[in-house]
Structure 1
Amino acid sequence: MSERSEQEASANIQDRSSKDQMVIGSAWMTAGSIFSRILGAIYVIPWSIWFGSYFLQGNALYGKGYNIYSFFLLAAIAGVPSAIAKQVAHYNALNEYGIGVRLYKRGLVLAVITGVLSAVILYFGAPLLTGGDPNVIPVLHSLAWAILVIPAMSLTRGYFQGYQQMAPSAISQFVEQVARVIYMLVTAFLIMRVWHGSWVTAVSQSTFAAFIGAIAGFLILGVYYVKRRSVFTGYIENSNNDLVVSGKELYREIISQAVPFIILGAGITIFQLIDQYTFFPVMKMAGSYTMARLNDFYALFAANSNKLIMITVSLSSALAIAAVPLLSEAFTRGDKQDVRRQISDALLLFMFVMLPSALGMAAVARPLNILFYGQAEEALGSSVLAFSSYVSILLGLFTVMSAVMQGISQNKLAVRYFAIGTGVKLLLQWPAIYFLGTFGPLAATLVGLGVTCLLILRSLHLQFGLSFNPIANKANQILGLSIATFVIARLLVLLVGIFGRYGRIASMVALIIAVAGAAGFYIYMVLRTRLADEIMGPRVGAFRRILHIK
């Protein structure tokens, strides 16, 4: 009887619809990503206070170092985690779980090798990557240590995701961020307030925190793997074992799948590096600015606003990660209808979360900017944050669309479209910066990624008959409610502003009122109109009953 119950439970899991799997997976990845991003932004408040007048300089240095580090990290990870998730899901769909385990082990060897090589190159090549700022060198030295650990950690996350087990990745991601932030704040306080040390040293220790966080996150994954080892063993024992794949073929599969993931995974980072190495020389041509002044401008769009908009972009990243294994399974089965349905579901889920989040952030840009970054460059910083919020929609869409293309094995085509978008970005970069200043890099990014996304959507329409008519009604509802959410949030911010000048406390009050009012309206309306049910499934009906919404 017990055995029969277990079989029925297993059958129920197998019969779960792809939409339910995507929503559940997205929920875990979204929760982990959002909590991590929020925590990664909140630390800025005490961090900025302790840095005092050196804050913008420190944040600019932090951003410069992290952009270079992100590129090296993506090269070290080499796209292997996403490739492993995709290929493990592929073989699991064929009931060849043993091959998936071998893929993981082979990938782990690659991750260790690439991690060591990338860390060594970053550490010893730091003087060549400064862009004229020698303070970047110690920051890059401190970041090189994290690259030794993160590739293997990311690979293990990919292995869990191949089984649609998103909880281990989400929880380890959150623990990683907690450990990182604690180390950052403790060292910043000691260096800047207790020992009255160098702000460059404080930034270097803040970036070294990435290594501390990586160790903590990896330990969590290890605990999960030990707990679930018997489950994985059971899958392997019940595999078909019909396929024979040599070690050489496994390496070839990993590498062939991983290379496009490197380019597309590094897409946003590549755009940020273009900004980093072009902004300063073009701005020097446009006016007589000191290096310190240019660092302040750079911090506003590349560090300050970027840190906040990546909270909303991480929503779409979570969707993208959840979509790849499911799309891969449907594509492996040759089920075009299921592929088309999952792409539509991914697009609707993206719009359902991203549009109100991005527009809402634009509406509360001023109090949000003051709360996190104080009164330094308040007017310009708030305007940059508002514009960045609109750009974040394209950043998120690119993340989802590139993941969809990878999930259906259209890697080369996706890379080609990204190359076209990068070319457009490069063509617009100089005139955009020269005439628009701090807004220039963001404008060039908006157009460049917009071109890439349009090309990908056109390709999906031609290959799979993806039609936008069936989702147009829901998309229009989401857009209409998102605009209404923006208006409500904006009016509430203006109303609070009538009673006095914004400081950090007043900004926090304005944010609480505006977010509660606008988010409450959006949640009520999507539940009241049953739009949430259509996009996320019948499970959300429980929230309607709890909130007594008819």
Structure 2
Amino acid sequence: MTLEPESQTRRIWRGALALTLAAFVTKMLSAFYRIPYQNIAGDVGFYIYQQVYPFYGVVIALATYGYPVVISKMIAERDVERDDEGMTYILKISLYFLLIIGMIGFSILYIGADWIAQLMGDKELSLLIQIISFSFLLFPFISVLRGYFQGRNNMVPTAVSQIAEQFVRVATILLSVYVLLKSGHTIYEAGAGAIFGSLTGGFAALLFLTAYWFKRGTKRKKTVIKKTNIDTKKIIFILFVQGFTICIANMMLILIQFVDALSLFSLLVSTGIEEQTAKVLKGIYDRGQPLIQLGTVIATAFSLTLVPLISGAKQRGDERFIEEKIRLSFRVGIVIGLGAAAGLACIIKPTNIMLFKDASGSFELAILSGSILFTSLALTMAAILQGLGHQWAPVFAVLIGVLMKWLLNLWLIPMYQIAGAAIATLISYMTVFALLYYTLRKNIKSSLINKEMTFRILLALLAMIVLLQFYLWTSSKFAFGWQTTRFFASVQALVGVAAGGCFYIIAVLKGNVFSKQELSLLPFGEKAMKFLFKNDR
């Protein structure tokens, strides 16, 4: 019996690790599949898909990061009390509540598809919007089942369902667009086939979750559902308020994409650009989305590992520990985010050719690369603030950032076209970051990073930039006519990533930006210490 608490703790940590790995795998897949998609469908095909993708992004936020978390908290409270009737009642009310939201989302998109497509400036998107609307009918069941399992400290079903959903979805997308285009269908019909992947992925997730429901014996004997001591209005209030705040905080990237989907193409056309050219320009601009997402995933993979430690310290009331780990999280975000943003900007041209076949839009993509720093820091700080109990600060910051993006699009796109959209995106993410930084600094009442650490990081960054610029100049100088080939660009980009990244990280670590104790808390930190400090006693 004495081993039970320890066993429970191990189970919680294994579950947290499973969710973390699942989130990392799904986000990497979500970033990478768009590259072969663009290669198959071209920039216009990519434009078509990206116009509708934000609607699916909202469904993912609701079914993965929002409501399962809220439901799991309520289930966990009843699980501790072994209140089976209470858990059943929470699941029932949650399902009814989410079905209403799902039906509203479905109705708006399905019935209003023509109007939304017209608002986007492209009536042919109507069918794709109608297809994506069916995803809103699946998410209530997925959310409730994930919330139940997470509330019972069983994270495996959620992790497996997330990975299965993404794998099936990506396979459907790539197979559909390839087969439909090869068989002579239009680019919009191929886009509709790709969007169908959102449904096949959702069904795959629901299938796995349902299998776990029966397999784990969670189908209990029928009981008379009683309210016991649970207030129905309280459940609905928690779902509405907490679900909203968590979802909005995790929708930052999607909402910014939403603004571009609604305004960029139509603004380009309104300035006199021919529609087909505007579609190509939007598709070229959308190349930046997987790059931002990929860079942000890598950057936050390190800094977000510290958030559970901060949340645990909050429960213990250990203010000193909280401040130390917040500063460390911020420093990690600065180091990885700054390195990824600047490094990508330096090698953006060969990277663009390697991934998307040509160098179109490299200048605009270099501007968008800067967003990696601010998105990774903003997402890290939003998670920290939510862990500290400041639920509304991230919501306020994200909504202000979205409003800023909309206004800047209206101002900058008519003047600078997609470069204006890139500048608007960068400034919007900077705004979100600035608001969250102000809130977090006010909360801990001191600076998040000192001048000495800032100088060391910038020195390492400058050294990396000089190294990459020299490498690009030298490799291009001795390319012997291979500069324009995709193979040469791929070699140049990959070697640049490896050389620049390794040099930068070694410079940061040798500059003592992190102590040995701090490194031990980070992924691969102990291995880095053994490599860098192997001669130290």
**TM exceeding 0.5:** yes
**Counterpart selection for 1:429 from 396, 399, 409:** 409
How big is the shift at 1:306?
Answer: 0.9
Question: 2 CA distance for matches of 1:173 and 1:138?
Answer: 26
Structure 2 counterpart of 1:408, one-letter code: L
Q: Percent identity?
A: 24
Question: 2 CA distance for matches of 1:502 and 1:402?
Answer: 42
Correspondence 1:10-25 to 2 at 5 A = none
Paired residue for 2:224?
Answer: none
Paired residue for 1:57?
Answer: 44
Correspondence 1:62-141 to 2 at 5 A = 62-71=49-58, 74=61, 79-84=66-71, 91=77, 106-130=93-117, 131-141=120-130
Paired residue for 1:240?
Answer: none
Q: Does 1:351 align with 2:334?
A: yes
- Name the CA shift for 1:463/1:364 in 2 (closer, same or farther; >3 Å): same
Structure 1 counterpart of 2:471, one-letter code: L
Contact 2:337/2:374 (CA < 8 Å) preserved in 1? no
How big is the shift at 1:249?
Answer: 2.1
Question: 2 CA distance for matches of 1:325 and 1:102?
Answer: 29
Question: 2 CA distance for matches of 1:84 and 1:170?
Answer: 16
Question: 1 CA distance for matches of 2:491 and 2:111?
Answer: 47
How big is the shift at 1:126?
Answer: 0.8
**Counterpart selection for 1:36 from 26, 36, 42:** 26
- Name the CA shift for 1:127/1:218 in 2 (closer, same or farther; >3 Å): same
- Name the CA shift for 1:88/1:497 in 2 (closer, same or farther; >3 Å): farther
Structure 2 counterpart of 1:436, one-letter code: Y
Contact 2:131/2:192 (CA < 8 Å) preserved in 1? yes
Structure 2 counterpart of 1:512, one-letter code: L
Contact 1:356/1:486 (CA < 8 Å) preserved in 2? no
How big is the shift at 1:69?
Answer: 3.9
- Name the CA shift for 1:135/1:77 in 2 (closer, same or farther; >3 Å): farther
Paired residue for 2:197?
Answer: 209
Q: Highest relative contact order (Cα 8 Å, sep 6+), 1 or 2?
A: 1
Per the normalisation by structure 1, the TM-score is 0.79
**Counterpart selection for 2:475 from 485, 496, 505:** 496
**Counterpart selection for 1:295 from 279, 291, 294:** 279
Q: Does 1:183 align with 2:172?
A: yes
Question: For residues 368-398 of structure 1, what are the alpha-carbon distances to aligned partners after superposition, in whole Å with 9 as ceiling and x for unaligned?
Answer: 21122212xx24x222222111122222222
How big is the shift at 1:259?
Answer: 2.2
- Name the CA shift for 1:34/1:249 in 2 (closer, same or farther; >3 Å): closer
How big is the shift at 1:210?
Answer: 1.7
**Counterpart selection for 1:279 from 264, 280, 284:** 264
- Name the CA shift for 1:413/1:33 in 2 (closer, same or farther; >3 Å): closer
How big is the shift at 1:434?
Answer: 2.5
Correspondence 1:163-312 to 2 at 5 A = 169-193=158-182, 195-221=183-209, 245-286=230-271, 288-301=272-285, 303-312=286-295
Paired residue for 2:526?
Answer: 541
- Number of residue pairs matched? 517
- Name the CA shift for 1:393/1:221 in 2 (closer, same or farther; >3 Å): farther
The 3-state SS of whatever aligns with 1:197 is: coil
Question: 2 CA distance for matches of 1:348 and 1:86?
Answer: 30
Question: 2 CA distance for matches of 1:332 and 1:74?
Answer: 27
Question: 2 CA distance for matches of 1:129 and 1:383?
Answer: 31
456-465 or 24-33, which deviates more: 24-33
- Name the CA shift for 1:513/1:422 in 2 (closer, same or farther; >3 Å): closer
Paired residue for 1:460?
Answer: 440
Contact 2:413/2:421 (CA < 8 Å) preserved in 1? yes
Contact 2:173/2:193 (CA < 8 Å) preserved in 1? yes
RMSD: 3.9
How big is the shift at 1:127?
Answer: 0.8
The 3-state SS of whatever aligns with 1:259 is: helix
Contact 1:300/1:384 (CA < 8 Å) preserved in 2? no
How big is the shift at 1:108?
Answer: 4.3
Structure 2 counterpart of 1:120, one-letter code: S
150-159 or 131-140, which deviates more: 150-159
**Counterpart selection for 1:392 from 360, 369, 372:** 372
How big is the shift at 1:522?
Answer: 4.0
Question: 2 CA distance for matches of 1:29 and 1:255?
Answer: 24
Structure 1 counterpart of 2:66, one-letter code: G
Q: Which runs of 5+ in 2 are unaligned?
A: 221-227
Question: 2 CA distance for matches of 1:219 and 1:533?
Answer: 45
62-71 or 275-284, which deviates more: 275-284
Contact 1:77/1:111 (CA < 8 Å) preserved in 2? no
Question: 2 CA distance for matches of 1:474 and 1:165?
Answer: 41
Contact 1:490/1:514 (CA < 8 Å) preserved in 2? no
The 3-state SS of whatever aligns with 1:513 is: helix
Structure 1 counterpart of 2:281, one-letter code: F
How big is the shift at 1:209?
Answer: 0.8
Question: 2 CA distance for matches of 1:492 and 1:48?
Answer: 29
Paired residue for 2:225?
Answer: none
Correspondence 1:318-333 to 2 at 5 A = 330-332=313-315
Contact 1:429/1:440 (CA < 8 Å) preserved in 2? yes
Question: 1 CA distance for matches of 2:342 and 2:198?
Answer: 31
Question: 1 CA distance for matches of 2:379 and 2:471?
Answer: 32
Question: For residues 319-358 of structure 1, what are the alpha-carbon distances to aligned partners after superposition, in whole Å with 9 as ceiling and x for unaligned?
Answer: 7876776655544555544443443343233334333223
Contact 1:421/1:448 (CA < 8 Å) preserved in 2? yes
- Name the CA shift for 1:43/1:257 in 2 (closer, same or farther; >3 Å): closer
Structure 2 counterpart of 1:299, one-letter code: G
Question: For residues 233-271 of structure 1, what are the alpha-carbon distances to aligned partners after superposition, in whole Å with 9 as ceiling and x for unaligned?
Answer: 9xxxxxxxxx95434323322222122234333333333
